[in-house]
Amino acid sequence: RAKSLTSPSTDLIGWEEVSEKSLSAYGDDGGGGGFDASSVIEYQPVCTTASSSTKHFAAYDPRTGSPISVRRWTELMLNNWFVREGFIEIIKRCPFKAVYFETRGVNGLVARDQPFEFVLVDAPELHRRNQYADQSSFASHFGKNPANPHAVSFVNLGRDATLVAPKPSLRGRDNKSFA
């Protein structure tokens, strides 16, 4: 069984073992009161392909074994620092130098019932890009939604997809890893 992630510095099992193991992200109640069992997420591998360039996971509540819905996963990510940091650590520990993070399309009507799954896809072309993210391409959108200092979303030119772009950091942080 995988070690739980209680902070970004906690070690995970080796990725070579992930095909048979699950990864856990545990949080606390946000008030410093310790562990809150309702904020547990366990990511279990989904074996849908034999490709070594993808890692497919589904989110589960380890107390019940039930899948965690997209809506519940989103709530946990928004409201629990430990769950967010644990998830980020899972991605950082992936053996790929750069990844595409992919999920199924979802809308508000099905988010409550659709289980949350994600795929990490090896993206060597992103790793080869040894430059900062191009901030000029989406500059016209960065002023929109000032309530969210981290990202902006907008419809693409073909009007058939929604794009999400990180806003330029005020602290000079390099966001090219979010490409």
DSSP string, 93-110: TSSSSSEEEEE----TTT
pLDDT of residue 173 exceeding 60, the answer is: no
Domain end (from 101, 125, 149): 125
Mean pLDDT value of segment 48-58? 81
Whole-number pLDDT of residue 178: 52
Q: Which domain holds residue 137?
A: 133-178
Domain check: are 86 and 106 in the same one?
Answer: yes
Whole-number pLDDT of residue 109: 92
Most confidently modeled range among 103-107, 145-149, 175-179: 103-107
Domain check: are 103 and 163 in the same one?
Answer: no
pLDDT of residue 102 exceeding 50, the answer is: yes
Domain check: are 114 and 173 in the same one?
Answer: no
| C-alpha to C-alpha distance for 165 and 173, rounded to whole angstroms | 15
Domain check: are 105 and 45 in the same one?
Answer: yes
Most confidently modeled range among 85-99, 103-117, 155-169: 103-117
Domain check: are 79 and 115 in the same one?
Answer: yes
Whole-number pLDDT of residue 2: 33
Domain check: are 142 and 106 in the same one?
Answer: no
Calculate the alpha carbon distances from 15 to 11, 55, 79 in Å: 11, 10, 28
Give the range among 5-14, 50-59, 84-93 with minimum mean pLDDT: 5-14
Domain check: are 96 and 146 in the same one?
Answer: no
Domain check: are 94 and 139 in the same one?
Answer: no
Domain check: are 61 and 21 in the same one?
Answer: yes
Domain end (from 125, 145, 169): 125
Whole-number pLDDT of residue 133: 61
In tens, the pLDDT along 9-45 reads: 223 333 444 444 455 554 443 444 444 433 478 888 8
Domain total for the chain?
2
Domain check: are 97 and 15 in the same one?
Answer: yes
